[in-house]
Amino acid sequence: MSGVASSASFLARRAAQKERVRLLYRRALRDTLNWAVHRHLFYEDASRLRERFDANKHVEDLVTIDRLIEDGEAAHNKWRHPDPYIVPWAPGGTKFTRNPPPPEGIEIVYDYGRELGTSLLACPTTIVTQLNYEIGAEGVISMECKEVVAEYGEMILELLIVETRPDKVCSQIGLCVFDGAQCVRSVIELFVK
């Protein structure tokens, strides 16, 4: 029975060594690519690396194999590239989240009517549309809505950030009164006049 157990432990240890060698080779090959400036240089370095691994391919002693793996890992850690190449779109890559898309429902509205040279972050389109509906204005952004956004835009955004329901934003700011079913717009009309 002990022969079977020792054979099983030998095979398990040998499988673990093979896995360590495979991972070491992959890491070393990837790091060789980091150090190479051009592909033709990488191919030469990769061939030399493969020859170094193949030179110890036929070693059978488990202790010697463990020592060779430890020496190889130490050499790899000593000569690792300080700034490894990461594909541009992967996390940590050169272009990862360089130009992230804006959050859903937020747009930048330029104040062309006043020519101030500044832009103002408008509230989400649904709120702008609702404000236009409440004041009876036409179009996506009207001058009346711009006045409301200029005065109350930051408060509207803060309420939306804390996830206030859009149909209750006007009543919480004080522009209209929410009667339980809909907003009554008398305050908005007074503000615009």
Q: Tens digit of pLDDT per residue, the chain (193 long)?
A: 567 778 888 889 999 999 999 999 999 999 999 888 788 999 999 999 999 999 998 998 999 999 999 999 999 999 898 888 887 777 877 777 677 777 787 776 666 555 444 444 444 566 666 666 666 665 555 566 667 767 777 777 777 777 776 667 667 776 666 566 555 554 444 444 4
Cβ–Cβ < 8 Å for 128, 141: yes
Burial class (CB in 10 A: 0-12, 13-18, 19+), 19: exposed
H helical segments located in the chain:
2-35, 39-55, 62-78, 125-135, 143-161, 169-173, 186-192
Gap between the terminal Cα atoms of the chain: 97
Question: Is 183 in contact with 135 (CB distance < 8 Å)?
Answer: no
Residues 6+ apart with CB under 8 A from 127: 156, 160, 166, 169
Here the tokens at position 160 are 């939306």
What count of Cα atoms within 13 Å lies in the side-chain half-sphere of residue 171? Answer: 13
